[in-house]
Amino acid sequence: MIWNEKSECMSEDEKKQLQLERLQNVVKKAYENVPYYRKRFKELNIKPEDIKTLNDIKKLPFTTKTDLREAYPFGMFAVPEDDIIEVHTSSGTTGKPTVSGYTQKDLEIWGEVMARALAMAGASKKDFIQNAYGYGLFTGGLGVHYGTQKIGATVVPISAGNTMRQLEIMKDFGTTIITCTPSYALYLAEVAENEGITPKDLKLKAGVFGAEMWTEEMRNEIEKRLNISALNIYGLTEIIGPGVAMECEDKGGLHISDDHFYPEIIDPKTLETLPEGEKGELVLTTLTREGMPIIRFRTKDLTALRSGECSCGRTSIKMDRITGRTDDMLKIRGVIVFPSQIEKALLRIEGLEPQYQIIVTRPHHMDELEVQVETSEKLFSDEVKHVEEAKKMIEDHIHSEIGLRVNVSLVEPKSLPRSEGKAVRVIDKREL
Amino acid sequence: MKLKQISIFLENKKGRLWKALSIMKDAGINIRALSIADTSEFGILRLIVPEPENAKKVLEEGNFVVKINEVIAIGVPDKPGGLDGILEVLNKADINVEYLYAFVAKRGEQAIVVLRTEDIDAGIKALEDGGVTILSSEEVYKL
């Protein structure tokens, strides 16, 4: 179902015109009301009037997470504090959190883009949406909440955690759509299986999963175990929260609400804009936000953009599934490794639980990568040699994916930590 | 006659063996024979217990990985060279022994040994042809 046909299926010309008008407007507001942007524009000797075409966006300065931290807490607000009616912060996992301020209109936009996202998962008034994203300063919970209310679906604001309760409510209320992190979805599936709850006992049809990176293989696993359609949602607190982009049933990339968020792809080293289809760092500009307009925010997420009409009928530009972040990229003996590659390799192995942890050490000035994997009945044997073969087989799978030899450790089932929010997959013990 | 053995995966971590054994204690399971194969990274605890299916169930509830497979229990003359004669039988039949371990209990004048050959059926046949006593599950559990 398309929530807002007018905005989501616009013609190319119409959209470009709208984006330009909105860009000119947001640049002017940022320049006039945010001292940080005024200063940056002056340093680069540019004025809002210099933005005559969409291509002129390249003249504008980038905004980084560090810039936002320096403005902590309210330095990026473009309206008087009286007009800000809600604040959120990023999780602060990589340093001091960044603050995001919303006006009444900003919250309406957020509800609108989230409604579009949930509609892509088939949500309508009839649905029960169990929202297992954390409510609070984290944008996940309330973002989904506003979207469900806009649609008129019934939101079950259960928040993250309390797995037994999640399953009980899912069963008793007849939840049709679940929203949470993909790692938590897998954990729910695992606990459900242990409790003898099968997909037949549930009315679940779709899941809206995001807030962490995941792979196609993980999607297959979740879809198989919960018998649902697992869709990928993307967003970030600095821009608005979840709902910046979302997958439709086509599952071939995420539609960016590009009438509200203008995407570019840059080479993270040269900072040059890359042509469509090339992979690089995603840069986003808010086109309509009042409370905190953000110009050319460097997301650190790696993806590529693809335009053209989708099989679902939408014309909004699509981005590929995020395959890595410039900052969770690991450099092991000079080779670039993303945790998602290891996940991909592991999920190709039948009978393996998709729970893993990557431990990086540097014992003798040489990087060592250990991947801890939970043993399953399928991998286990009464004979040592067969267990060692299974271990080697996993090592070979990872080797062919990342090009490096790693050491796989088999650990006991359910011994790796399960997350209720963002999964911690990498423990880097190197002192770099 | 095949005998069921349960194998349990143990991480090389303090307290894991104890944990597995205390789960069985709580379930009132009496261990008839046991062996541990250990490597630098993990161990495999192999057990002969009455009602192996039940033991597997309670251990799995305690989050252990458990596998049931078949082994052969044989009676070995309790005198020097007793086991040697049996291995000779297998060697002549060109059958590879993966591992073996002994029961604490005895059966009359015979010691009891559990062994695992690569091909269980071929192992049983060779032993039978060589006149070795093979014990049934019932006989083993009664010990």
Q: Is the peptide bond before A73 cis (omega within 30 degrees of 0)?
A: yes
Which value does ipTM take for this structure? 0.88
**pLDDT per residue as tens digits for the range B8-59:** 999 988 999 999 999 999 999 999 999 999 998 899 999 999 999 999 999 9
Q: What is the mean pLDDT of residues A96-114?
A: 96
Minimal-distance CA residue of chain A relative to B98: A383
Lowest mean pLDDT, pick from A181-185, B84-88, B104-108, B118-122 = B104-108
- The per-residue pLDDT for A331 is 82
Q: Quickly tell me which residue has 């161990």 as its tokens.
A: B43
Chosen for mutation from B41, B66, B97 (greatest number of chain A CBs closer than 10 Å) is B41
Residues within 8 A of B (CB atoms), A 338-377 only: 375-377
- The per-residue pLDDT for A94 is 61
- Beta strands A254-256 and A318-319 are antiparallel
Domain B3-68, second-level architecture: 2-Layer Sandwich (3.30)
A83, A103 contact by CB (below 8 A): yes
Domain boundaries defined on chain B: 3-68, 70-142
CA distance A77 to A79: 6
Q: A329: Cβ–Cβ under 8 A, 6 or more apart, which residues?
A: A336, A337, A338
Chosen for mutation from B42, B48, B117 (greatest number of chain A CBs closer than 10 Å) is B42
A379, A351 contact by CB (below 8 A): yes
* Average per-residue pLDDT for chain B: 93
Q: Which of A55, A92, A62 is nearest to A283 (CA)?
A: A62
Chain A, chain B: beta-carbon pairs less than 8 Å apart: 50
Six token digits for residue A320:
């590929």
- The per-residue pLDDT for A200 is 94
Q: Quickly tell me which residue has 């699509």 as its tokens.
A: A318
Task: Report the top-level CATH class of B70-142.
Answer: alpha beta
Predicted TM-score of the model (pTM): 0.78
Asked if the domains B3-68 and B70-142 are classified in one and the same CATH topology, the answer is yes
Residue A387 at interface with chain B, using a CB cutoff of 8 Å: yes
Contacts of B9 in chain A (CB under 8 A): 375, 380, 387, 410, 412
Domain boundaries defined on chain A: 1-327, 330-428
| The CATH homologous superfamily of the domain defined by A1-327 | ANL, N-terminal domain (3.40.50.12780)
Task: Report the top-level CATH class of A330-428.
Answer: alpha beta
Inform me whether the pLDDT recorded for A417 exceeds 90. Answer: no
**pLDDT per residue as tens digits for the range A200-213:** 999 999 999 998 88
Distance from CA of B63 to the nearest CA of A (A): 6
Inform me whether the pLDDT recorded for A215 exceeds 60. Answer: yes
